[in-house]
Amino acid sequence: MDPKTLQTNLLELIRRSSTDMPPDIEVAIRAGYRREEKGTPAKSVFKSMLDSIELSRRKSIALCQDTGSLVWNIYYPDGSEILPVTKAIENAIAEATDKTWLRPNAVDIVTGKNSGNNLGAGSPILHFHPWKKKNWEFSMMNKGGGCENCGIQYKLPDSRLGAGRDLDGVYKCVLDAVFQAQGKGCAPGIPCVGIGGNRDSGMECAKNQIYRKLDDINPDQILAKLEKKLYQDCNKLGIGPMGYGGKTTVLGVKIGTLHRLPACYFVSIAYMCWSDRRGNMTISGNKVTYSN
């Protein structure tokens, strides 16, 4: 695919990710609306969410003004050239910023200056993965800053929580993280958890859970059970949408694991807000398919 066409397709991927809520998230928001009691702020804020989702989709307006940091996973046929692709992604991002599908979100630490086009040191975040297939796959997410601030990394054992180095300890960490977030990360959120690894791979594992569909089932039966229990118990906290109080505090809980070092037991939690924006594009020859 020539770079210009690729850039046009990438721009469309960004537009979809930023403006079109994934169907599984919308279903969960609708369920939250039904679950909350009549006449409560919780119910009315769910209604506002549904209205705003609808408006964004219809008019191609960004779902949230914080279009987040752009985290990409790119799977490419082993041996392909990736530098021109990096360039095409950067160009598409700058163009999407111009079109107001992205807010300028890259700020220089030292000067405080906003680069104006979302490009800068460490922005965007691109992870390239070679694979044996012939097609390309681009996955991206818009990871907002408010919910990013609710992310946290625990090191077990944790005496404050009475959390030991086992899955029961993990359970306590996730509940504590959701409690600490209250409404600040735009609840109802999706705590995405990475157990194990080191400090950076653990958090990356947590972030990668954001790509999972809400209704998927963890292939590991023990983790599937833990996700379900955490989903139910987080919702007992009563924090509710926006922290207004209510029955819907999380939309789901997703857990991934990595082997750990004998000395380390990290529980890394990436808190994703209800505006869980992600997009996917597959290029096979000249055929392009989008999904989110």
Partner 1 sequence: MIKINLPTDEETIRALHIGDEVLLTGTIVTARDTAHKYMVTEKPNDLAPLLKDSVIYHCGPIVSHEGGKWSMVCAGPTTSIREEPFEAEVIKMYGVRGVIGKGGMGPKTLAACKEFGAVYFHTAGGCAASLAQTMEEVLDVKKLEFGTPEAFWVVRVKDFPCLVTMDSHGQSLHDMVEKKSRAVLEELIKS
By the criterion CB under 8 A, which residues form the site for partner 1?
41, 44-45, 48-49, 51-52, 55-56, 59, 61-67, 100, 102-105, 107, 112-114, 116, 145-146, 149, 161-163, 171-172, 175-176, 179, 182-186, 233, 236-240, 242-245, 273-275
Three-class DSSP category at 10: helix
Q: What number of other Cβ atoms are within 10 A of residue 44's Cβ?
A: 15
Q: What number of other Cβ atoms are within 10 A of residue 179's Cβ?
A: 12
Binds 289, which of ligand SF4, partner 1, none (CB < 5 to 8 A, cut-off by type)? Answer: none
Residue where the block lists tokens 């958890």: 193
> CB of residue 111 vs ligand SF4: minimum separation in angstroms?
24
Q: Are 191 and 178 in contact (CB under 8 A)?
A: yes
Binds 118, which of ligand SF4, partner 1, none (CB < 5 to 8 A, cut-off by type)? Answer: none
Footprint (CB under 6 A) of ligand SF4, residues 61-90: 64, 66, 68
Q: How far apart are CA 199 and CA 116, in angstroms?
A: 31
226 is written with which tokens? Answer: 């833990």
Q: Does the N-terminal peptide bond of residue 157 adopt cis geometry, omega within 30 degrees of 0? A: yes
Among residues 22, 185, 188, 197, the one that binds ligand SF4 under rule CB under 6 A: 185
> CB of residue 35 vs partner 1: minimum separation in angstroms?
17
Q: What number of other Cβ atoms are within 10 A of residue 79's Cβ?
A: 6
> CB of residue 65 vs ligand SF4: minimum separation in angstroms?
7
Our CB check for partner 1 shows the closer of 82 and 107 to be 107
Our CB check for ligand SF4 shows the closer of 103 and 165 to be 103
266 is written with which tokens? Answer: 């990290």
Going through 145-264 in order, the beta strands assigned E by DSSP cover 152-155, 190-195, 254-257
Binds 68, which of partner 1, ligand SF4, none (CB < 5 to 8 A, cut-off by type)? Answer: ligand SF4
Binding site residues, ligand SF4, CB under 6 A: 64, 66, 68, 144-147, 185-186, 273, 275
